[in-house]
Amino acid sequence: MPTVSQPLPASLEQIVQRFQQISEPKRRYEYLLWFAKHLPPFPATQKVAANRVPGCVSQVYVTAGLEQGKVSFQGDSDSQLTKGLVGLLVEGLSGLTPAEIMQLKPDFIQRTGLDVSLTSSRANGFYNIFHTMQQKVQALYDEC
């Protein structure tokens, strides 16, 4: 699979570079779990079918909002590693414009080294979460 064709937004590039500095797979997982621990609490009222990420073994929820032209995400999962993936994406994508998010390709995960150590179901979960976030952004754009 080719590498990302356009430069990543600064927030996402910084996360990718931090992962690249970690050579041990165990430490990469620890850093991923850091994202899980730092996700803001997700409102129980938002744990509804419309916010559930399809195709994930874990229960994963994502919401998106638009403020002053920038997207803000919230998310949660019942699995800590998956919650870490959600946290990574929430951290990396929140604050971007809808256009920036829509032009991104999820293959930046390869640059983190996580794709090698994730199980196939978790890797698929990452792509499902990413695509759901893009769909939520598209829905926000369509509402405008």
At residue 3, the pLDDT reads 43
Query: Which one from 36, 56, 71, 137 is the annotated catalytic residue?
Result: 56
Q: What CATH number is attached to the domain comprising 90? A: 3.90.1010.10
Report the mean per-residue pLDDT for the chain.
91
Whether residue 69 is contained in a domain is answered as yes
pLDDT at 116 over 70: yes
Q: Which domain holds residue 134?
A: 10-143
Average pLDDT on 110-125 reads 86
pLDDT at 144 over 70: no
At residue 6, the pLDDT reads 66
Instruction: Please give the Cα distance from 64 to 142 (Å, whole number).
Output: 13
Whether residue 114 is contained in a domain is answered as yes
Whether residue 5 is contained in a domain is answered as no
Q: Which residue, among 114, 118, 129, has the nearest Cα to 56 in the 3D structure?
A: 129
Query: Is 56 one of the annotated active-site residues of the chain?
Result: yes
Domain count, the chain: 1
Average pLDDT on 64-79 reads 96
What pTM, to 2 d.p., does this model score?
0.92
Q: How many residues are recorded in the chain?
A: 144
At residue 117, the pLDDT reads 78
